[in-house]
Amino acid sequence: MSSPATIASTRLKIGLEIHVELATRSKMFTRTANVAHPDHFDAAPNTLVDPVVAALPGALPVLNRRAIEMSIMVGLALDCRIASFSKWDRKNYFYPDLPKGYQISQYDLPLCADGALTLPRPDGTVKRVGITRCHLEEDTGKLGHELPGGLHYDGSLVDLNRAGTPLLEIVTEPDLEDADDTVSFAKELRSICRFLGVTEGIMQRGHMRFEPNINVIIQTSDGHEYATPVVEVKNLNSFRAVKGAIDYERDRQVAAWREDGLVMGPGAKSTRGWDDTRGVTVLQREKEDAHDYRYFPDPDLVPVVVDDAWRETIAASIPELPMKRRARYVSEYGLSPADAVTLTDDPRLCDFYDTAVIATAAATPDLSGPAGLAVAKLLLNAGAKRANETDRAIHELGIGPEQVAQLIALREANEVGSTAADELFGHLCQTDEAARAVAEREGLLQVRDDDALDAWVDAAIAAQPQAADDFAAGKDAAAGRLVGEVMKRSQGKADAKAVRGKLEERLR
């Protein structure tokens, strides 16, 4: 029965469980190739299987050291305490894609715990999200309902390629209170994991799966507070789905409470799936509690002991992370926050950019502004345009960091104009040659011949008499039409600055 009091206010309470498939070369407890590694993502079904994965009698697991190191890297990046001693547990449940009938996981002694990630918000405030734990486990297999080629099959098919993949589960505190902050957190965590090199983070391939635990705190007009039952939405693999599921659950849970008055309590949790087509969540099952899984220590695996030397070696391998890089780009180079976000979206683009900045600073030490700003403008204009045209990332266009530096040096010396620089960028995407050699061959170097400039300026004044009169009368905006006319007649070879000087001489 619903409460007779009216609702005065509501607020969301959200915690996240994030599953990160680690891109090790082999699986968590066997040397069989890992489907989450880029070399094996398109393997035919059930080809990445061995006796350990298939749970054949007598097959014993062996720890993957690299998966443990990757997990510690993530834990350190999230300011977690790294356990000096952690162990492995069997999580028992029966499902067709779980050959052993249990999953090897970590229960009471996780590898990483008690961390936090502090997010900057657009309004200048920050949001701290506590990290409860990061524990390492193995992934399950995958169920399908269609045969290869899209043929329908009356039943379910099991693909065990994913079974045994190293899976890092990151669990947050319920510190998030709206969909936007949750999506920001999810994006930042994905960036961190990609910069660490622990995953490609391609969500469509299941490299990262987000599971928000959502409920609503309802304040009624009579001063009472009610917490709706927690709902876990499973296996979301896009930020759009994360936002959509949270927004939908907020409204659905309030409506459900109005109808039945149910609040959080023992056995009240449930899991739901997300229907992306209809934009709704769908009930799947009642949520199990920890005791339902009958955890007990795995007798076949040794504990993980992390000493100070090992932890410090792993910490030394952590690169500059995206949040710190963005702050540096804004403070040192004068980039806008939006441009800094774009450049740190992909670690490969970020590395390309940093290399180009170093090369530009070396090639043009007397550059009129920060090298980082000049490189960013070139990549986010000429580069982004061609990336959109070719459906490739900027760092995949073919131009190299040294060529970027050479092009900027030509532009700084006024040897190529802005239009020619854009065209030259396109040519450099097709060759490894030096920028000057390509500019000379393609006729893109600016002409500094005074006689030629005089002829082009005379022709422009004759062709644009009104613009010439306006400029002579002090209307600076009219210069654009005259300079444009010169550039058209010179096929972009004239120095725009020199053209402006000639116009000043003639008309003022």
DSSP for residue 205 = G
398 band by pLDDT with thresholds 50, 70 and 90: very high
In this predicted model, what pLDDT tens digit does every residue of 179-195 receive, in sequence order? Answer: 999 999 999 999 999 99
- pLDDT exceeds 70 at position 4: no
C-alpha distance from residue 33 to each of 48, 54, 88, 97, 168 (Å): 6, 14, 22, 18, 18
- Please list, in sequence order, all residues whose beta carbon lies within 8 angstroms of the beta carbon of residue 57, skipping any fewer than 6 positions away: none
Residue 338: per-residue pLDDT: 94
The Cα–Cα gap between 406 and 471 comes to 36
- Please list, in sequence order, all residues whose beta carbon lies within 8 angstroms of the beta carbon of residue 131, skipping any fewer than 6 positions away: 78, 79, 80, 112, 113, 114, 115, 116, 117, 170, 171, 172, 173
13 SS3 class = strand
One-letter-per-residue 3-state SS of 45-84: CCCCCCCCCCCCCCCCCCCCHHHHHHHHHHHHHCCCEECC
Q: Which residues is 262 bridged to in the sheet?
A: none
Q: Are 68 and 85 in contact (CB under 8 A)?
A: no
In this predicted model, what pLDDT tens digit does every residue of 333-392 receive, in sequence order? Answer: 999 999 999 999 999 999 999 999 999 999 999 898 999 999 999 999 999 999 999 999
The Cα–Cα gap between 401 and 99 comes to 49
* Phi, psi for residue 461 in degrees, rounded to 5: -65, -40
The Cα–Cα gap between 484 and 347 comes to 39
Q: Are 211 and 172 in contact (CB under 8 A)?
A: no
Q: Are 86 and 106 in contact (CB under 8 A)?
A: yes
In this predicted model, what pLDDT tens digit does every residue of 273-307 receive, in sequence order? Answer: 999 999 999 999 876 666 678 999 999 999 999 99
Angle, CA 492 vertex, CA 487 and CA 494 arms, to 5°: 70
Residue 148: per-residue pLDDT: 65
426 SS3 class = helix
All structural domains of the chain with their residue ranges: 7-310, 322-441, 450-507
269 SS3 class = coil
In this predicted model, what pLDDT tens digit does every residue of 114-155 receive, in sequence order? Answer: 999 999 988 889 999 999 999 999 999 998 877 666 666 677
pTM of the shown model: 0.87
- Please list, in sequence order, all residues whose beta carbon lies within 8 angstroms of the beta carbon of residue 404, skipping any fewer than 6 positions away: 356, 359, 360, 375, 378, 379
DSSP for residue 379 = I
CATH of 450-507, one of 3.40.228.10, 1.10.10.410, 3.30.70.141, 3.30.559.10: 1.10.10.410
Q: Which residues is 133 bridged to in the sheet?
A: 113, 171
Q: Are 416 and 446 in contact (CB under 8 A)?
A: yes
Residue 288: per-residue pLDDT: 60
- pLDDT exceeds 80 at position 218: yes
